[in-house]
Amino acid sequence: MSGTVAVKVVVHGSVQGVFFRNFTSRCAERLGLTGYVRNLPGGSSVEVVAEGKKAKLEDLINRLKAGPPHAVVERVEIKWLPPDGSYSCFTIRY
């Protein structure tokens, strides 16, 4: 898919148990992105891998920095990647 890029985002803070994965999934689906979101071990971070147009991914990143109402985002790590094209939708991994 021409113009498609990927990003891995790790969000740190009070981001587990506050519907962060559901929030992320809804945002990504509305933006037409593919990939996944999952909690990371330790209880204080969430990993997001998403593919799509760069402008849409930047929009998602801005939404992740704000988070849902009960989340407290302390730090966001962003790593741009080449897309692998293996995602057909956006999912929540458990």
Q: Does domain 4-93 correspond to CATH entry 3.30.70.100?
A: yes
Q: Provide, rounded to the nearest whole percent, the portion of the chain with pLDDT above 90.
A: 97
Q: What is the pLDDT of residue 60?
A: 99
Cα 53 to Cα 26, 37, 38, 71, 93, distances in angstroms: 17, 18, 21, 26, 22
Give me the active site residues, please. Answer: 21, 39
Euclidean distance between CA atoms 81 and 8, whole angstroms: 7
**Domain residue spans in the chain?**
4-93
User: 58 by DSSP, 3-state: which?
Assistant: helix
Confidence at 37, pLDDT banded by 50, 70, 90: very high
Residue 11: partners with Cβ closer than 8 Å, 6 or more residues away:
20, 45, 46, 48, 64, 67, 73, 75, 76
Beta strands in 1-94 (DSSP E): 4-14, 34-39, 45-53, 72-81, 90-93
Q: What is the pLDDT of residue 42?
A: 96
pLDDT digits (tens, 9 = 90+) for 46-68: 999 999 999 999 999 999 999 99
Q: What is the pLDDT of residue 46?
A: 99
Strand partners, 92: 37
One-letter identity of residue 50: A
